[in-house]
């Protein structure tokens, strides 16, 4: 992924870490606990869906893909953060930095596209219930899942290769993890093409899926307004978690974009670090809570899987 002899710096320095003294051990334990909860919750739900044949339906298959993506994104971030918290020198080798950029950005792209595909699934279920089985076939479900992964992976691979080919005049990134735009700003050469491609990638992985989500929910709300009470209850029960996840992720992504593009020096450093991590660290824990680990869903899933286990 990293072009040979393409960068003038062997490592990057992450300048956003604060000198926390002995408090770093407390931060380490907190982040380690969060990571263990993320892995445990997502792995549990993945196992539940895989083991129970009655859950091998489009909605659950999309959730399965979403939970796998949460493991992928959190594993690309949390172990790195844990090492950096205990380290006195917050440096990262250039190849590892570009690898982390690839993981974090592709995680975000897969997340948004997964939410868009799930909104389409809910649209078909609510607006075209009689044709749901014929429209959401196993082949189409598999094709949509492959698309949600391959589409952003290709786009982000090109973006990272373009960034790694830049000649850099500095190596200080004012963040707690590697960020593509922060690296581009260190370039000595003309980064116009990189910026344009970055905007194209943002449109393809964020704006376009968001427009699709809004379009499908406008259709769903129209059906609910003119539909029966049962239709409205079905829409609320299936769409509320999806909308909550979408709003949560959009809030984090919006702040992260603002922090990368504009001067946020007036915002307290601790708050900047928290909100910077929020966009990539909250969803892996938030999604399982919304989709399966509240008391009602946990009981429901457990009672459904137990017959298949026995």
4 domain-assigned: no
How many residues are listed for the chain in this entry? 310
Joined together, the tokens standing for residue 32 give: 């380690």
1 domain-assigned: no
Q: Domain of 110? A: 11-309
What is residue 76's DSSP assignment? T
pTM: 0.86
Which of 171, 147, 176 shows the shortest CA–CA distance to 280? 176
Residue-level pLDDT, tens digit, the chain, 310 residues: 444 444 468 899 998 887 767 788 888 998 999 999 999 989 988 988 888 887 788 988 999 999 999 999 999 999 999 999 888 888 999 999 999 999 999 999 999 899 999 999 988 888 888 888 898 999 999 999 999 999 999 999 999 999 999 988 889 998 889 989 889 999 987 888 998 998 899 889 888 988 898 888 888 888 777 767 776 676 676 677 777 777 877 777 777 776 666 666 676 767 777 777 777 777 788 888 777 644 344 445 444 444 444 4
CB contact at 8 A, 157 and 205: no
111 domain-assigned: yes
87 domain-assigned: yes
Given this model, what pLDDT does residue 308 score?
A: 43
Given this model, what pLDDT does residue 142 score?
A: 95
User: What CATH code is carried by the domain that includes residue 129?
Assistant: 1.20.1070.10
Measured over the CA atoms of residue 43, residue 144, residue 240 and residue 280, the dihedral's sign is: positive
45 domain-assigned: yes
Largest CA distance in the chain: 64
209 domain-assigned: yes
Given this model, what pLDDT does residue 5 score?
A: 43
3-state helix, strand, coil split of the chain in percent (to 5) is 75, 5, 20
81 domain-assigned: yes
Counting the structural domains of the chain, the total is 1
CB contact at 8 A, 182 and 194: no
Chain position carrying tokens 């072009």: 3
Distance CA 170, CA 162 (A): 17
Given this model, what pLDDT does residue 231 score?
A: 66
Given this model, what pLDDT does residue 262 score?
A: 67
The strand order across the sheet containing 91-93 reads: 91-93, 11-14, 172-173
6 domain-assigned: no
């Amino acid at each position: 992924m990293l072009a040979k002899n393409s960068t003038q710096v062997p490592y990057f320095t992450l300048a956003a870490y604060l000198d926390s003294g002995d408090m770093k051990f407390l931060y380490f334990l907190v982040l380690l606990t969060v990571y263990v909860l993320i892995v445990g919750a997502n792995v549990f739900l993945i196992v539940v869906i895989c083991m129970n044949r009655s859950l091998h339906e489009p909605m659950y298959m999309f959730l399965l893909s979403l939970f796998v993506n949460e493991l992928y994104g959190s594993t690309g971030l949390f172990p790195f953060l844990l090492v950096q918290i205990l380290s006195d020198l917050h440096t990262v080798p250039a190849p590892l930095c570009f690898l982390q950029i690839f993981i974090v950005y592709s995680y975000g792209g897969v997340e948004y596209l997964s939410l868009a595909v799930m909104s389409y699934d809910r649209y078909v279920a609510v607006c075209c219930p009689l044709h749901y089985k014929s429209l959401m076939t196993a082949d189409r479900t598999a094709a949509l899942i492959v698309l949600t992964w391959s589409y952003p992976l290709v786009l982000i691979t090109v973006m990272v290769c373009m960034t790694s080919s830049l000649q850099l005049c500095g190596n200080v990134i004012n963040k707690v993890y590697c960020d593509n735009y922060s690296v581009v700003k260190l370039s000595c050469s003309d980064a116009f093409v990189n910026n344009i491609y970055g905007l194209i990638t943002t449109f393809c992985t964020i704006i376009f899926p968001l427009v699709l989500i809004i379009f499908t929910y406008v259709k769903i709300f129209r059906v609910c307004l003119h539909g029966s009470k049962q239709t409205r209850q079905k829409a609320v029960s299936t769409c509320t978690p999806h909308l909550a996840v979408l709003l949560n992720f959009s809030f984090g992504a919006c702040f992260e974009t603002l922090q990368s593009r504009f001067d946020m020096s007036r915002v307290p450093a601790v708050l900047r670090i928290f909100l910077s991590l929020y966009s990539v660290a909250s969803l892996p824990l938030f999604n399982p809570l919304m989709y399966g680990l509240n008391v009602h869903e946990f009981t429901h899933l457990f009672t459904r899987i137990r017959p298949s286990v026995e």
